[in-house]
Amino acid sequence: MVKTSNFSKDDLLSHPDILWERHVEGVVTNTVKFVQELPDSINQLIDKNTLLDIAVTCALLHDLGKLTFFFQDYIRSPEKGKSELSQHALLSALLTYWTVNKKVSEIAPEDPKFDILPFIAYMVVRSHHGNLDHFFKLKALSPNQCDLVKKQWDSINKEKLQSFWNLHELSIPLEQISKLINELPNSFKPGRKLLKYLSIKKDLDAYFLSNLLYSILLDADKSAVGLDALLDQIKKLSPTIIDEYRKKRGWNSASSEFDQLRNQAYYDAIKNININGGQQIFALSLPTGFGKTYTALSIALKLLNSRNLNRIIYCLPFTSIIDQNFEEIKNAIESTRGKNIDTSILLKHHYLSDIFFRTEKQEYDPLSSQLLMEGWNSLIVVTTFVQFFHTLIGYRNRTLKKFHRMANSIIILDEIQAIPFKYWKLFNEVIQSFSKYFNTYFLLVTATQPSIFPSKEKKDLVKIDHYFPKVDRVNLYLSEEFRDLEKYKKFILSHAKGKKRIIVVFNTIKSAQNFYQKIRNEFDNLYFLSSHVVPKKRLQILKEINQESSFFLVTTQVIEAGVNLDAEIIFRDFAPLDCINQIAGRCNRFSQQSKGEVYIANLVDENTNRFFANYVYDSSLLDLTHKILNKQMIPESEMLSLCQHYFEKISCFPQNESEILVESLHYLRYDNDDRAISTFQLIEQNYEKFDVFIELNEQAKSIWNEYLQLKEIRDFWKRHAKYLSLKNRFQNYIVSVSKKNLEKNPPPIVEDIYYVPFSQLEEYYDPEIGYKTTHSIAIW
């Protein structure tokens, strides 16, 4: 995108340093590229040529409202401030609506799907500087909006506009547009056709069309402003790179029975993707410790090359395990290729990620790096479930920008059992349709495969009942109820005697902290983990534990799914069966010792006489788990059948939340409705939380001072760029604390954030157990 800073008074600007026509040209060029990259399977949703025509029209007209006198006056003199008249999205959207309406009436007037395209194009342009909203709110104009549009239209230089119109051969005459504007609101009534279509069709086509066009426009627009050029086509990696890495590590010549099983599972999975036909949803279900990360990546690389796909998106439920998996993938690729890889090949994307993007040719500044990272412009993206699912089922501008990037991809959903059962039906319907339209492959990875997809809807890459009965590394014991942590402590110490690697898992932060306080002077190599420990310290602790031959870890559920820990004995407060099975997977993972032991207790909060488990988990899942675990000792070899029975029962539970959200997707209820898409939360927040910056050490002091200095930078973009360079380091010293805990003993608020200075650290933060809680039901 060409930028300039020398303009005449007759030049029209889109941004302070960009000519309007050049910006529009850049957006159109990007739009054409993005549509052309879509797979031919998109024709099942909408004819690709028609999609290109509509998308280009949106690109051409999305900023037409910037041609008004009012916007041009504002962009040249921003100190005057914005006004209603200087806003441009509504006028641009109306012109887009009428232009697309004329186009589709000429293409296929009898096709009901074409009837909704004008409104979708209107909604996309109307919302390109905000989030998507409820279609009902957008389908009519107020008298004030009509007056506003008329004043804006009258202020546009029609001679220049006519030249633009002629250049791009826009079919609707400007005289007709003037007439339509004067006839508002009667000339804009899309609601009847839209409601008619939605009442006849019961699919998600309107939702996918809306999000696709919105995503393409957002990415094309922001890239035209923030990038000099789009990235070149990403180079593919060898499909055998993991095979080569396994050979290099000597894993193919395993001698132990356990390692031979691991190898057999790997080759079975690889063989089964090669014989597969048109299936696009795969399941990889293997016991913990079987190397599912490398197996999943190897499968994905082979699919990437054989099906000519664009990228691999590796999704994990928690940020606590992303760094671990990212490093494993990075090491495998670099050691095999014999050279470092750049961000265009492998990207880590979550809220703690460094804002940094580098290719072989250049290193990008923070603003451009943010655009490239948030647009998933990499061959392999390692990210969170939240990032992925809130893009797949979303309404926000920032997340939906990358919606179109998920086409022609392989999505690895690792630890799929972490998806709340209330969303199973929702994910089934959305993923089935998305995979069909967008040529996207899904790989569901877990040791405990939930019943989200019936067996006929997915391809199992290994025979589940072949491997699980052959591993018997752990015994699960159901222990008694404990109302006193002192008694629980004695129980743990008596059973853990002689053990070197011990983990104790609690359901709430408060109970974990209280237990730690009771034993903090009794053990060497004692560690504590919860979300009240700053992220930087959490990562440091996990690295230290993996290097220790002995440790005693007191923790909450943050270590459950996927964290690479291996204990001899584990004690856990009661939880749903899938959580119990996951924590059992942290015990004797590689079958290198006598049987591991996992003890499940029922801990009671003395203050309320409630089980701690009831603060955290759905009571129906807890009740079902109590019924299924009906004997005192259960060997690992029996856990598969118990988990299958558990998930079968869950699949019969009511799916009210899923049904409501599927309906909201169909009716384009994006926001401003108590059933809207905006109510979807993958990770449910049961109570309000606030961020607290912990000035833990000298490094944190320096970071805080940098944060304070941001306000001294007057230029918005320079200030934002500086913040992006600081963001990761800043977030590494932030903990999220419940409103109740803060109200009892709030630290000061400085620059709109709670702040614990180093001088007051003792009052609010314990270097070992994190933020000091004052309420008993803080979780995680």
Buried b (16+ CB within 10 A) or exposed e, 279-309: ebbbbbbbbbbbbbbbbbbbbbbbbbeeeeb
Mean pLDDT over the full length of the chain = 90
Q: What is the pLDDT of residues 167-210, one digit of tens each?
A: 998 889 999 999 999 999 999 988 788 888 888 888 999 999 99
Per-residue confidence (pLDDT) for residue 522, from 0 to 100? 84
User: Confidence class of residue 778 from pLDDT cuts 50, 70 and 90?
Assistant: very low
* Whole-angstrom distance, CA of residue 24 vs CA of residue 559: 49
Beta-bridge mates of residue 162: none
Distances (CA, A) of 349 to 74, 83, 384, 537: 36, 36, 8, 20
Q: What is the pLDDT of residues 36-50, one digit of tens each?
A: 999 999 999 999 999
Pairing label, strands 380-384, 13-15: unpaired
Percent of the chain having pLDDT more than 70?
A: 97
Residue of 228, 5, 661 whose CA lies nearest to 13: 5
Per-residue confidence (pLDDT) for residue 143, from 0 to 100? 94
CB-facing half-sphere around the CA of 768: CA atoms within 13 A: 15
User: Confidence class of residue 223 from pLDDT cuts 50, 70 and 90?
Assistant: very high
* DSSP summary character for residue 559: G
What token pair was written down for 150? 């008329």
Q: What is the pLDDT of residues 314-346, one digit of tens each?
A: 999 988 788 889 999 999 999 999 889 999 999
**In this model, does residue 678 exceed pLDDT 90?**
yes
**In this model, does residue 600 exceed pLDDT 50?**
yes
3-class secondary-structure state, position 712: helix
**In this model, does residue 290 exceed pLDDT 70?**
yes
Write down the pTM of the prediction.
Answer: 0.92
Q: Compute how many other C-beta atoms are within 10 angstroms of the C-beta atom of residue 771.
A: 25
What token pair was written down for 481? 């109820």
**In this model, does residue 761 exceed pLDDT 70?**
yes
Q: What is the pLDDT of residues 55-84, one digit of tens each?
A: 999 999 999 999 999 999 999 888 888 899
C-beta of residue 357 within 8 angstroms of C-beta of residue 368: yes
Q: What is the pLDDT of residues 378-428, one digit of tens each?
A: 999 999 999 999 999 999 999 999 999 999 999 999 999 889 999 999 999
Residue of 474, 471, 480, 391 whose CA lies nearest to 438: 391
* Whole-angstrom distance, CA of residue 372 vs CA of residue 358: 10
3-class secondary-structure state, position 460: strand
Q: Compute how many other C-beta atoms are within 10 angstroms of the C-beta atom of residue 177.
A: 19
Per-residue confidence (pLDDT) for residue 56, from 0 to 100? 97
What token pair was written down for 657? 């939340």
Per-residue confidence (pLDDT) for residue 687, from 0 to 100? 72
C-beta of residue 479 within 8 angstroms of C-beta of residue 599: yes
Strand order in the sheet with 734-738: 734-738, 689-694, 753-756, 749-750
Residue of 571, 545, 549, 559 whose CA lies nearest to 500: 549
**In this model, does residue 692 exceed pLDDT 50?**
yes
User: CB neighbours of 349 closer than 8 A, spacing ≥ 6?
Assistant: 373, 374, 376, 381, 382, 383, 387
**One-letter amino acid for residue 586 of the chain:** R
Residue range 568-588: mean pLDDT, rounded: 92
Per-residue confidence (pLDDT) for residue 428, from 0 to 100? 96
Instruction: Tell me how many helices (H) and strands (E) the chain has.
Output: 32, 23
Please state the length of the chain: 780
Per-residue confidence (pLDDT) for residue 779, from 0 to 100? 46
Distances (CA, A) of 685 to 393, 573, 579, 738, 778: 18, 21, 19, 10, 11
Beta-bridge mates of residue 316: 384
User: CB neighbours of 758 closer than 8 A, spacing ≥ 6?
Assistant: 695, 696, 697, 700, 701
**In this model, does residue 4 exceed pLDDT 70?**
no
* Whole-angstrom distance, CA of residue 655 vs CA of residue 451: 13
Per-residue confidence (pLDDT) for residue 623, from 0 to 100? 96
- Identify the weakest region by mean pLDDT among 247-251, 333-337, 479-483, 625-629: 479-483
Report H helices in 338-450: 366-374, 385-392, 397-400, 424-438
**In this model, does residue 777 exceed pLDDT 50?**
no
Q: What is the pLDDT of residues 620-676, one digit of tens each?
A: 999 999 999 988 999 998 998 999 999 999 998 999 999 999 999 999 999 989 999
3-class secondary-structure state, position 37: coil
* Whole-angstrom distance, CA of residue 149 vs CA of residue 146: 5
User: Confidence class of residue 561 from pLDDT cuts 50, 70 and 90?
Assistant: low
Buried b (16+ CB within 10 A) or exposed e, 34-64: bbeebbebbeebbbbebbbbbbbbbbbbbbb
* Whole-angstrom distance, CA of residue 287 vs CA of residue 290: 6
User: Confidence class of residue 774 from pLDDT cuts 50, 70 and 90?
Assistant: low
